[in-house]
Structure 1
Amino acid sequence: MRVDGREVSVTGNLLQPLLRRTNDIVRFALAAAFLAVVITSSLITRNDWVALERSISDIVGVLTPTQSNLVYLLYGVAILALPFVILIGLIAAQQWKLLGAYGAAGLIAVLSLSITGNGIAAPRWHFDLDDRLRTVLSQFLDDPRWIAMLAAVLTVSGPWQPARWRRWWWTLLLAFVPIHLVVSAVVPARSLLGLAVGWFVGALTVLVVGTPALEVPLDGAVRALVRQRFPVTGLAVDRPAGPGPLVLTATAEGSDGAPPAQAIIEMYGPNQRSGGFFRQVWRWLRLRNSETSPLIASMRRAVEHRALMAIAVGDVGVANTSPIAVAALDRGWTLYARSPERGVTVDSSSGPDAVTLVWTSLGVLHSHQIAHGDLRTSEITLDDGTALFGGFGSAEFGASEVQLQADIAQLLVSTTATFGAEPAVRAAIGVFDKDTVLTASRRLTKSAVPARIRNSVTDAGAVITAARDEVMHETGADQIKAETITRFTRNQVIQMVLLVALVYVAYPFISTVPAFFAELRNANWWWALLGLTVSALTYVGAAMALWACAAGLVSFRNLVIMQVANTFAATTTPAGVGGLALSTRFLQKGGLGALRATAAVALQQTVQVITHVALLILFSVAAGTSADLSHFVPSATVLYLIGGAALGVVGTFMFVPRLRRWLGTAVRPRLTEVLSELAELAREPKRLALIVLGCAATTLGAALALWASVMAFGGGTTFITVTVVTMVGGTLASAAPTPGGVGAVEAALIGGLAAFGVPTAVAVPSVLLYRVLTCWLPVFVGWPVMRWLTRKDMI
């Protein structure tokens, strides 16, 4: 390569691989959105759109018929010739790989608009010039398939072509809208659809096949280095451009017999910063303000920041490189030239003093209020008894306390992986005091340690755990509370999902509120107050059962409060799984181990089922067989189908080895533990009595609340029959997939009361009042209670 009369040798492969740039992804997303908007608007406002076009055409269509024909002919010839011009240009440039994508995009675009209810309708384009030339051209100008083909091939060939050509071609294609208006013709709605489809197909093709990076302006890089008194004589490619920069080694002749000088050149393409910018935006949305640096959208500004930080770190004597040149080159490229790294990279063979040297250099940085932000061992070298740093892309001058703590946490991970936990933590405490290291170790979590640091070590999770444990050992801390760095925690996300689910499942109930309130005028409020009191006592029963299952190892008072929050979690999740998870979490926070807490909840549920079935049999016998239960009891056919499906599931688990192993390794131990707990309960009659009494109070309390609701509206049924309805209806509705059984519970209870002779005028408001007392009031109280328990670190 010859630059300004200077011969520069270039070795290595400059051919950059096809890659999927962020621009390609954004283009595809915009094309998909544009296609959706065109389809939606054409379906909704098609007639209004045509009327608007006609009115605009009447205003701007000032050309005479002769002038209109001339404009139409000239534009038609240009549109007809455009794809052939592009094709000839690709062949002349020998873009052979592009021809396949070019042809595929054009063919797919035409075919996608040729599909009809009767199959594929082939285009009927003809070039019979015996007819009027305007007629020949109009078949292309007004055919959406031609417009789609043009948009597709323009999108595919655009990344390979100069920007000026690309802009002129798109301007020519998009001109069909104003030209139609000027010549007093309405733009067919199908043409806009063709444009949207073609752009979408082209964007999808580019996303699949990838695009080339632009031509590398090596001549500009050489001139930028010459201006900095570095006369380049040779360039060697160390790493082709791809997800990262193009890295080259530049060589210059030494003066006065000195050996040749070398420089490392990093060249960033025009689209490489876009991906980094989107990552910055995501970090800004996900992390707190104190955890994120100012957004830098410009590659030039990012490179300048890195060079300035290299100068600042070099001034305090711990930088292993120094910047030579920063320059903006042609075609959007940015140059960063620096000296080669001094010293050898730190690794496990660097000697016992290396870890101390690394931490000492970090102390020097922090004493000047500089944070590095990327403390991988690959960015640290040792030279003449001093640890030096490189990188500086994430460094900050005038760093905040948060950024300094993040540095310590990062270096704890890197040095623990390289030298071991004990030497790393002791060296950190030797440079910084125990309190500083202990505070920074709160950031030893997956969310706080950047991905680039975790990816640089083997088994990052084990390394982080080892570092935390060693910090606790060295500082004498009992535990290290993880630092919250995100704007939203996992618990907040779960609570938000539960709240949305609550609104969703409550909507059908809200629609019945006006009629329900009209019926409340005739209700006996003393019975309603009794129902509310009994409903509150069910929480005491449930808490008593779970307290006995946990052997009294948790606070009974807090357990009763937790049952209110449990109503919210159980109602807003299908099958009440949220309530089970919340109970287990509460027991764990109360001091029980994970296995012991799970076993206690499983034991309580098992006794609850046994008690429920026993009470159901007892009250069914007491109620007699005169009632018609067919309204809410499945038919024999349905029961046979359920039984057959259950047998099929059991057979599948028995014959599939993986499922059989899962039963043996995951289910069987828990089942054995629950059975052993039941056997142990049999030898403790007082504890067993508490659990059974609590479970019975929960079941009978719900039945008594429904009976009080029926009596509030003047119902005449007995408590025994209402108990049967509550237990049978609740059991059937528990299989409903809706959170809290919303809809299924109401239907089952209303049908059950009707089967026992309760009029519909009484059954409907009674069930709604029952659900208000036992479900919706506790749910809306449970939300703030759940947040209170979260603040108190009880769940």
Structure 2
Amino acid sequence: MPPARAGEAPPGPDTEAPRRGTAVPVDDPPRPDRIRRPADAIRFAASCVLLAAVMLLVSFAQQTTHGLQTDIAEGTAHAPRLLLSLATLASSFGVLAVPVAFAVERVVRKDGKRVAIALLAAVIAFLLTIGLDDLVVPSAPGGVLDSLIWGGTETAPVHTDIAPVIAFVSAVGMAGRARWQAATWTMIGLAALTGLTASYASVAALAATYLLGRAIGHGTLYAVGTPNPRPPGTAVVAALERLGFRPERAAYLDPADGDTEEPRRYGVALAPDEDEDAARVPARRGEWNLEVRVLDRDQQTAGVLYRVWRLLRLRGATTGRALRSLRRSLEQESLMAYAVDAAGARTPRLAGTSEVGTEAALLAYEHVPGRRLGDVPDEEVTDGLLTDVWRQFRRMQAGRLAHRRLEGHAVLVGDDGRAYVTDLRSGEVAVGDLALRLDLAQLLTTLALRAGPERAVATAAAVLGEEALAAAVPLLQRVALSRATRAALRQDRGLLTRIREQIVRLKPETEAAPVRLERFQPRTIFSIVALSFAAYIVIPQVASLDIAHLVSTATWWWVAVALGAATLTYLAAAFMLMGFVPERLPLGRTVLVQVAASFVKLVAPAAVGGVAINTRYLQRSGVRPGPAVASVGASQLVGMVTHILLLILFGFLTGSTNKATQDLAPSRTIVIAVFVLALVAGLTLTVPKVRRVVSSRMRSMFSGVVPRLVDVLQSPRKLATGMGGTLLLTVAFVLCLDASIRAFGGSLHWTSVVVVFLTANALGSAAPTPGGLGAVEGALTLALTISGLAAETATSAVLLYRLLTLWLPVLPGWAAFAYLQRKQAI
């Protein structure tokens, strides 16, 4: 009998027994009675978030909800009364009758546990809605809850009649039963319409009722656990028989190590047909004819949060869909299997597909005896095997097919020594160049982890060519690789660098600049949160200021002094850079680079933007990449040491010369705080992972710095220029801050101003926000207030100081940045 068509739904009940008289033995592991599905937790959380959003939206848009309610009332007033009466009658009967009928049908099919859980969810929803309607809202002061959600209307807070039904429907599960779903939701919709026409519930109340019912249904299902919906191995065998196969025995196959999202797999041995030679059927018990992959509906949401995160974080065309239905997953893998075979790449042949009841589907592949690449011993990973892998990959690339999961378990090494491409669940057809290059970067890394970068690159170049490998260099980034591969790279952090080096040796002119794949980095989220927190603190202070009064009372010649000091900082920064570069740099262009760096501050943390643009400038000026990084690192290191020494020196001077700033002096409290911080830092560095991260960051930042400093020390003129620029930079910023304070009538001892600046600048450099936003303003305002300035004067001075040093240079910085780019100076 020929196999059924791919994807054809099986007839009969959910788990039809085999039609042959003798049951097929299936070696299946014990199945848990109940499971907690990630999908239920996700839907519960999503319903709660949307419910909160409805409450917040309606509280801000009460007039809109009133208008919408009025429009609906006027519209239904013109509807035929007979039609509304029929809808009311049908909903009153059907809203309970349809779910009850479905529950009876499930009980008859021996699915009573699911019905019991759904009834529990309905009871919880009923009690909660009664409590909201009769207890919480009337007792709220002035009808707070009613006003928050429903704009103070005279409607019921929640629809008591349909909330339990929605909770029941959400918990009982009607996936794959389209007629029952249509009938149930039609009745619920009619009941909602009845509530609107009778002014029993508003639109907002119905939205909240729906979301509350969904939250209770899925929350109950996740808390209690749903009866295991996954069909057993016997149901899988029965589905194979309906496809025309004759299973003789079957056994569950263990999943690949580290792949928690892999579908269930069964090995199946087939009995020979009556007219088939028995010798053609495997005689040994360890051999199979088919390998069956079972797609369980509840597993379709496994890892969905991670996939959504990747989809949001990475740029377009780098990831597939975050969430697919069971039918979509079945069709995608089937299409990919046929497409890979048509492209000429070696892969197990897809023999048939079928649904297994309503909760699963299967794909039956011809079994290829062998081992996954990750399980093959190192001595058997020969150059011939690697070359064969690259040949199969080349055929997929020629067919515009992206695998997206080319890890060790995606390559099968057959007993005949040939490579097969497997695990096609995430693949896509007709993809763009970026997806193909990402596949190449992934496979390069996978094979390099097994055979080393030299052999991986050499065998790839022999098959794909040097040009193809060069296209993968910009994509050899951790973020472009799969989660399992990134975890493996933690054991060999320099592997990607060595792969790039091997490719560059083959093709020296390769451009190694990485392609930007990320829409944003995790620190961007931290920056947004920090900026929001800073705005929460700073905006009320700014709002309380009388800007017109401040402008009219400001001493403008002090403002001019502050502006001149701010301008002087760019000359000082240029001297600081030039002093630590043995090569000769033009003063004018170097100053212009520092002006351009003020524009970069708005898109990068203060300690990062300047380093990046100065390093790029040195490279464009003819300094090799290594010495360029070392020169910038040397200037940063000297600046950091100078900053710390000045802070300690002026801290003691401040405490001994100015009573108004005793809180800033190195008192016993500060000494204790320093010791506590040192102790915490020391304990943190005892953690090996933290120690490795810190040491690698320090090495990458200051590698080659010492030889560069030795070169500078040999030239007294260079040393004087660098140290002079470092000190001049601090003096200019202090002068700008002091002039800003005096512009609004304030006055502090100059040592106090130095301490305030050094403290705020250190916080700004450490903060991951662009330009130190939030951290600098908060630290400056607090320190100036502690030093004795009035809060209004301190806030005004800080705003002027930041205007002159951060915001005002943005437009000139942008112009300088564009000019330098046109001149190819950065």
| TM-score using structure 1 length | 0.69
The match for 1:515 among 544, 548, 553 is 548
8 Å Cα contact 1:288/1:487 also seen in 2:
yes
Is 2:478 the counterpart of 1:446? Answer: yes
Further displaced range: 481-490 or 578-587: 578-587
8 Å Cα contact 1:309/1:396 also seen in 2:
yes
**What letter is aligned with 2:479?**
S
Shift of 1:339: 1.0
Q: Relative to structure 1, is the Cα distance of residues 242 and 768 closer, same or farther in structure 2, using a 3 angstrom cutoff?
A: closer
Q: Relative to structure 1, is the Cα distance of residues 75 and 13 closer, same or farther in structure 2, using a 3 angstrom cutoff?
A: same
Shift of 1:485: 5.4
Q: Relative to structure 1, is the Cα distance of residues 491 and 552 closer, same or farther in structure 2, using a 3 angstrom cutoff?
A: farther
The match for 2:388 among 358, 369, 378 is 358
8 Å Cα contact 2:757/2:780 also seen in 1:
yes
Q: Relative to structure 1, is the Cα distance of residues 598 and 32 closer, same or farther in structure 2, using a 3 angstrom cutoff?
A: same
Is 2:663 the counterpart of 1:603? Answer: no
Q: What CA distance in whole angstroms lies between the structure 1 residues aligned with 2:617 and 2:164?
A: 65
1:520-571: CA deviations, max 9, x gaps? 99957xx8767544432222223324544x3646857575445435556778
Q: What CA distance in whole angstroms lies between the structure 2 residues aligned with 1:616 and 1:768?
A: 24
Is 2:272 the counterpart of 1:253? Answer: yes
Match of 1:322 in 2: 349
8 Å Cα contact 1:235/1:249 also seen in 2:
yes
**What letter is aligned with 1:436?**
A
**What letter is aligned with 1:336?**
L
**What letter is aligned with 2:638?**
L
1:104-137: CA deviations, max 9, x gaps? 7845874697599999999xxxxxxxxxxxxxxx
8 Å Cα contact 1:730/1:745 also seen in 2:
yes
Shift of 1:352: 3.7
Match of 2:517 in 1: 486
Any idea what SS the aligned residue of 1:381 has? strand
1:426-466: CA deviations, max 9, x gaps? 32233343443344344333233334555689946455444
**What letter is aligned with 1:481?**
A
Further displaced range: 378-387 or 163-172: 163-172
Match of 1:389 in 2: 421
Q: What CA distance in whole angstroms lies between the structure 2 residues aligned with 1:56 and 1:315?
A: 57
Shift of 1:502: 13
Match of 1:40 in 2: 56
**What letter is aligned with 2:515?**
T
8 Å Cα contact 1:580/1:601 also seen in 2:
no
**What letter is aligned with 2:391?**
S
Q: What CA distance in whole angstroms lies between the structure 1 residues aligned with 2:79 and 2:590?
A: 84
Q: What CA distance in whole angstroms lies between the structure 2 residues aligned with 1:588 and 1:336?
A: 58
The match for 1:693 among 701, 708, 724 is 724
Q: What CA distance in whole angstroms lies between the structure 2 residues aligned with 1:535 and 1:257?
A: 92
Further displaced range: 740-749 or 266-275: 740-749
RMSD: 6.5
8 Å Cα contact 2:98/2:183 also seen in 1:
no
Further displaced range: 536-545 or 647-656: 647-656
Shift of 1:340: 0.9
1:5-49: CA deviations, max 9, x gaps? 676525244986555556435522441244224433564566986
Any idea what SS the aligned residue of 2:626 has? coil
Any idea what SS the aligned residue of 2:266 has? strand
Q: What CA distance in whole angstroms lies between the structure 1 residues aligned with 2:138 and 2:103?
A: 25
Q: Relative to structure 1, is the Cα distance of residues 500 and 309 closer, same or farther in structure 2, using a 3 angstrom cutoff?
A: same
Further displaced range: 25-34 or 578-587: 578-587
1:598-677 counterparts in 2 under 5 A? 600-608=635-643, 610=645, 633-634=660-661, 636=662, 638=663, 643-644=668-669, 646-651=671-676, 653-654=678-679, 658=683
8 Å Cα contact 1:611/1:696 also seen in 2:
no
Q: What CA distance in whole angstroms lies between the structure 2 residues aligned with 1:55 and 1:311?
A: 54
1:120-173: CA deviations, max 9, x gaps? 999xxxxxxxxxxxxxxxxxx998778655544443333699665566556556
Match of 1:739 in 2: 774
Match of 1:341 in 2: 368
Q: What CA distance in whole angstroms lies between the structure 2 residues aligned with 1:168 and 1:405?
A: 48
Q: What CA distance in whole angstroms lies between the structure 2 residues aligned with 1:224 and 1:643?
A: 78
Q: Relative to structure 1, is the Cα distance of residues 381 and 608 closer, same or farther in structure 2, using a 3 angstrom cutoff?
A: closer
The match for 1:591 among 609, 626, 632 is 626
Q: What CA distance in whole angstroms lies between the structure 1 residues aligned with 2:435 and 2:111?
A: 52
8 Å Cα contact 1:568/1:782 also seen in 2:
yes
**What letter is aligned with 2:170?**
T
Q: What CA distance in whole angstroms lies between the structure 2 residues aligned with 1:395 and 1:191?
A: 41
Q: Relative to structure 1, is the Cα distance of residues 116 and 577 closer, same or farther in structure 2, using a 3 angstrom cutoff?
A: farther
Match of 1:380 in 2: 412
8 Å Cα contact 2:477/2:496 also seen in 1:
yes
**What letter is aligned with 2:272?**
E
1:501-523: CA deviations, max 9, x gaps? 89959968997797389649995
Q: What CA distance in whole angstroms lies between the structure 1 residues aligned with 2:807 and 2:797?
A: 14
Q: Relative to structure 1, is the Cα distance of residues 611 and 58 closer, same or farther in structure 2, using a 3 angstrom cutoff?
A: closer
1:310-361: CA deviations, max 9, x gaps? 4455467652421222345653754422211255555234364533542563
The match for 2:221 among 206, 212, 222 is 206
Q: What CA distance in whole angstroms lies between the structure 1 residues aligned with 2:64 and 2:429?
A: 59
**Unaligned 5+ residue runs, structure 1?**
123-140
Any idea what SS the aligned residue of 1:341 has? coil
Match of 2:461 in 1: 429
1:528-567 counterparts in 2 under 5 A? 532-545=563-576, 547-548=578-579, 550=580, 552=582, 555=585, 557=587, 560-565=591-596, 567=598
Q: Relative to structure 1, is the Cα distance of residues 297 and 467 closer, same or farther in structure 2, using a 3 angstrom cutoff?
A: same
Match of 1:130 in 2: none
**What letter is aligned with 1:350?**
E
Shift of 1:263: 2.5
8 Å Cα contact 1:421/1:467 also seen in 2:
yes
**What letter is aligned with 2:626?**
G
Q: Larger radius of gyration, structure 1 or 2?
A: 1
Identity between Structure 1 and Structure 2 (%): 22
Q: What CA distance in whole angstroms lies between the structure 1 residues aligned with 2:577 and 2:218?
A: 59
**What letter is aligned with 1:415?**
L
Any idea what SS the aligned residue of 2:479 has? coil
Shift of 1:179: 3.5
8 Å Cα contact 1:214/1:331 also seen in 2:
no
| TM-score using structure 2 length | 0.67
**What letter is aligned with 2:384?**
A
1:564-607: CA deviations, max 9, x gaps? 35556778999x65578669977997635978865642432333
Q: Relative to structure 1, is the Cα distance of residues 345 and 146 closer, same or farther in structure 2, using a 3 angstrom cutoff?
A: closer
Match of 2:292 in 1: 265
1:282-321 counterparts in 2 under 5 A? 286-289=313-316, 291=318, 300=327, 303-304=330-331, 306-311=333-338, 313-314=340-341, 318-321=345-348
Match of 1:777 in 2: 808
Q: Relative to structure 1, is the Cα distance of residues 339 and 354 closer, same or farther in structure 2, using a 3 angstrom cutoff?
A: same
Shift of 1:265: 2.8
8 Å Cα contact 2:596/2:814 also seen in 1:
yes
| Total equivalences in the alignment | 751
Any idea what SS the aligned residue of 2:364 has? strand
Q: Relative to structure 1, is the Cα distance of residues 13 and 416 closer, same or farther in structure 2, using a 3 angstrom cutoff?
A: same
**What letter is aligned with 2:573?**
A
Q: What CA distance in whole angstroms lies between the structure 1 residues aligned with 2:88 and 2:526?
A: 62
The match for 1:157 among 142, 149, 172 is 172
1:210-263: CA deviations, max 9, x gaps? 545646499997787668754455554446999443433442424333344732
Q: What CA distance in whole angstroms lies between the structure 1 residues aligned with 2:315 and 2:206?
A: 47
Any idea what SS the aligned residue of 1:325 has? strand
Shift of 1:421: 3.5
Q: What CA distance in whole angstroms lies between the structure 1 residues aligned with 2:441 and 2:590?
A: 38
**What letter is aligned with 2:44?**
F
